[in-house]
A and B are shown apart, each in its own frame.
Chain A
């Protein structure tokens, strides 16, 4: 198969699925719609595998497939091709997207079984896959932007899927608008790069990046990368634009798994990795990215400690894990960032689907205070969730351990890193271990608090199979990127991922030789504390269920502050949204209606006034007119005679 055909199949198959389901959107059968959509996703996944094989068959230096469909925009020096490029970096992405995507499609068939809008749902899901593939495969920033906005659009549609509920529609809108703020910055970043490089093509930009880093804050490249990063904070839910992601949980749970955990939200990380030579060129931006990433990791994790909604906990966990990825790319550990992106995609998709399974079993109940003891009712869900839990808290040898540890180590060790960044990451890891254990404990373990009329049951096979597959991936995917220090200890296991990506990712400049002892100490510290924290959570929520209540009672103010998400939403509402609406209203009323319009009335009034002055002469009285004639006559005569 030619490359062009292969990539067309990969990208267009979900689009065709979207069109098919879109045209028959009124049908209610979830099986047919889901079948079509899943088939489309699976075809896409098969093509991705074929492309991956093609790539592997190529010599190592030349591993890339470029296809160009048509010229999109050509104006003056701007030449944008509808071009796609596959290389080791995004082949991993497309495998994740189509692979996890297919599993989630499969899961949805059963999950959305009773929903009337199933066809519409699957159409959106396929459209999302299409856009996500365009995003990661585009060979220039503008084509990436097509997917970038496209996934935002699908996210909007899917969050507001149950649009009859005003809050859900509002959540969708919030997601889109927040993303739009980022997108506007992304546009500015693109402009700056275009003005600097004269092109938007990734390869050309990466080749043209000057060798020496620039330390100026105001150089166009620093500004450009900063703006791109703001774009990434929008899409990938980082401070200050993370607020939409927790609300995005209004959408169906599989959507949260696919879009708001595994794929779309990682787009920002992917974009930075894609442009890694450029970002390495601007260390100031890198510093900002690392700090924002670290702060987001800690802040979101701390909110996660207090939430009662199973999906909200996972949502804040996602924000926090995305913070880790940004921390990674911020210290130049791009491979580690991508590695964590991948493992996170597995275990977080797993946990979201698991929570979907739980919610399904609980008849749409999401409050973990009303769960507990589900272990015996839902053994498969519990077991797979357990693996996800082990992965996310960084328990060796599950996948999360390898990727998180790599990030923490490099944030300490990299010349772009700092012990404080490591500390942020470590604190985040400890919190993660706590709230995830809390979630496990409240949902699956301990005594059942399930209401009498609800009878939880294990989900059907269509739902558990994806869970099992994802659990396997979550358990073992870590071995793709074994850290050097462990690999050496186990007999020189290579870091497969790093080697595979070496063509695309620039190494961290001036990286010192690793100190094995330090690395092992740091690793033990973070893992150790995480385990202690997990044990503590187990103690608090399983052994002594009344303990958390007592504890929060003591720090009521703080708990309240964190429980209400630091009142960030309220602050945005009060400082941005309301003032904007109020100002708009007063602009409309005072400026438009009462000033500009009135000003034109003044002009017309002046003219009218002038008219009414003359008008009194024209009083319609014949005698007055005759008088004018007489006066005129007399004056004329006088004039003639006197002269």
Chain B
């Protein structure tokens, strides 16, 4: 028999744990992947991990500010994705390359 308690037993820590795992996956993507598109996706992943934390905190503390914050984050994320993808496309058009190792003009 399926223990339905499991839904009630899911607590704040589980959400936070999930959020942490997603965040670390996203971060690993940002740090290790070379493809600019994948990089942007990883950033999205990190933002969404944060969103999960926000919502979880909001639910368990009963305050709405966290959920409002999520809207902001989602807006920013959308904007960021739009700008980022636009940049990536432009760069690709210009250099035929999305590997970020290629863009190291800042190197001292």
A interface residues (Cβ-Cβ under 8 A, vs B): 615, 618-623, 626-627, 630
Contact = CB atoms under 8 A, between A and B. Distances in A.
- A interface majority secondary structure: helix
Given A618-B108, A620-B107, A621-B100, 4 more contacts: A620-B105, A620-B108, A622-B100, A626-B31
B104 A626 contact: no
Interface of B: 27, 30-32, 100-101, 103-108
A621 B101 CA distance: 7
A229 B29 CA distance: 94
B107 A623 contact: no
Contact of A623 (B100, B105, B106, B108): B100
A620 B108 CA distance: 7
What 4 A-B pairs are tightest by C-beta distance, nearest first?
A: A620-B107, A618-B108, A620-B104, A620-B106
A619 B107 contact: yes
A634 to B, nearest CB: 10
Nearest to A611: B108
A623 B104 contact: no
B105 to A, nearest CB: 7
A621 B31 contact: no
A619 B104 CA distance: 8
A626 B100 CA distance: 13
Nearest to A627: B31
Contacts of B108: 615, 618-620
Contacts of B30: 623, 626
Contact of B32 (A618, A622, A623): A623
B107 A621 contact: yes
B54 to A, nearest CB: 19
Contacts of B101: 621
B43 to A, nearest CB: 10
B61 to A, nearest CB: 22
A615 B105 CA distance: 14
11 contacts: A619-B107, A619-B108, A620-B105, A620-B107, A621-B104, A623-B30, A623-B31, A626-B30, A626-B31, A627-B31, A630-B31
B1 to A, nearest CB: 41
Interface centre among A615, A622, A627 (most CB of B within 10 A): A622
A296 to B, nearest CB: 75
A623 B27 CA distance: 10
Nearest to B30: A626
Contacts of A627: 31
A621 B107 CA distance: 7
Nearest to B28: A630
A609 to B, nearest CB: 15
A622 B105 CA distance: 11
Nearest to B104: A620
A262 to B, nearest CB: 79
A608 to B, nearest CB: 13
B21 to A, nearest CB: 16
Contacts of A630: 27, 31
A622 B106 CA distance: 9
Nearest to B100: A622
Contacts of A626: 30-31
Contacts of B106: 620
Contacts of B104: 619-621
Contacts of B32: 623
B47 to A, nearest CB: 15
A50 to B, nearest CB: 88
Contacts of A622: 100, 103
A620 B31 CA distance: 14
Contacts of A619: 104, 107-108
A350 to B, nearest CB: 87
B100 A618 contact: no
Nearest to B27: A630
Contacts of A620: 104-108
Contacts of B107: 618-621
A630 B24 CA distance: 10
A623 B28 CA distance: 10
Interface centre among B30, B104, B107, B108 (most CB of A within 10 A): B108
Nearest to A622: B100
A629 to B, nearest CB: 10
A99 B103 CA distance: 94
A623 B31 CA distance: 5
